[in-house]
Amino acid sequence: MQPQQNNLLETDLLKTFVTISETGNFTVAAKRVFRTPSAVSMQIRRLEDQLGRALFVRHPRHVTLTADGEAFLVHAKDILRINDEALSRFRVPQLEGRVRFGAPDDFGVRYLPAILSRFAATHPLVEVEVFLSTSVILARRFEAAEIDMILTVSAQSDPAPGQVIHSEPLVWVGARDGMAFSRTPVPLALSSHGCPWRAAALAALDKASRRYRIAYTSEAAAGQLAAVMADLAIAPLPVSLVDEQHRRLTEKEGFGAIGSYQLRLQKNPDIGSAAQAFADHVRESFGRQE
């Protein structure tokens, strides 16, 4: 692979590269950047030719970053961020203000860093005050007008207030080589009372006439995962939290479908333009328009 004598990196290629690194998949990334998979494939080949290094390891069903790809990703994100900052500096009037945003703890760990980072790049003068807690507590503070907007989780069938911005299946999860799922009664690590995941999971077990005992309760998914990793219990969790350290339990082990959960955005009707911009940004981060 001979490096090309081109000293300028194209932001289009960088955007595609970053998108693939996020999705781990050329086809999904192609949809996100509104190009065909073949066009994306060629863009990456062009970038690799320009750098003289392979950026991805091609697996049968997905791609992963090489060590060079990991290193280049940091620079690619920096360049795109600077690009966004430069554009936003001249394209849109600078919004100022403050937004009080509440979200579930797990959301804070998983999604918030990227959302805050991108929002800060385009709205550097807006102060974001973040409240992380359970959906129940967040709803209470939202009702008391202590928070401008909140994200809450609800069951698929639950007629909860707010706009659905994300939906995802819940699955039963155990430790990768664990045996907790085979015990009778099966030990569970659940979220706190009031969480729709908890109700949906128990309903699924009741429906299957499966005997269980609640061994651990945690307000955050991290607490449930700790019990799962120690093989002390199994837990109902969003499918996106399952990785190579876990074992996804299915009908084969006697754990059928739980259903899905929804992430809903509620906002105060009379929020300012800065808070409105943040609400739009959160929605767009999940691919939803108002």
Residues that bind DNA (CB under 7 A): 10, 12, 25-28, 30, 35-39, 41-46, 58, 60-63
Q: How far is the CB of 3 from DNA (least distance, A)?
A: 15
Distance CA 285, CA 277 (A): 12
Q: How far is the CB of 170 from DNA (least distance, A)?
A: 21
Distance CA 33, CA 16 (A): 7
Nearer to DNA, 60 or 159 (CB): 60
Q: How far is the CB of 55 from DNA (least distance, A)?
A: 10
Nearer to DNA, 125 or 239 (CB): 239
Q: How far is the CB of 111 from DNA (least distance, A)?
A: 22
Nearer to DNA, 30 or 237 (CB): 30
Q: How far is the CB of 41 from DNA (least distance, A)?
A: 4
Nearer to DNA, 42 or 136 (CB): 42
Nearer to DNA, 46 or 77 (CB): 46
Nearer to DNA, 25 or 152 (CB): 25
Q: How far is the CB of 119 from DNA (least distance, A)?
A: 27
HSE (side-chain half, CA atoms, 13 Å) at 285: 19
CA distances to 80, 139, 175, 276 from 117, rounded to whole Å, are 12, 25, 32, 17
Q: How far is the CB of 42 from DNA (least distance, A)?
A: 5
HSE (side-chain half, CA atoms, 13 Å) at 289: 0
Q: How far is the CB of 6 from DNA (least distance, A)?
A: 9
Token pair in block for residue 198: 């908890």
Nearer to DNA, 41 or 83 (CB): 41
Secondary structure in 3-state letters for 152-191: EEEECCCCCCCEEEEEEEEEEEEECCCCHHHCCCEEEEEE
Nearer to DNA, 46 or 183 (CB): 46
Question: Apex CA 33: angle with CA 28 and CA 38, to 5°?
Answer: 65
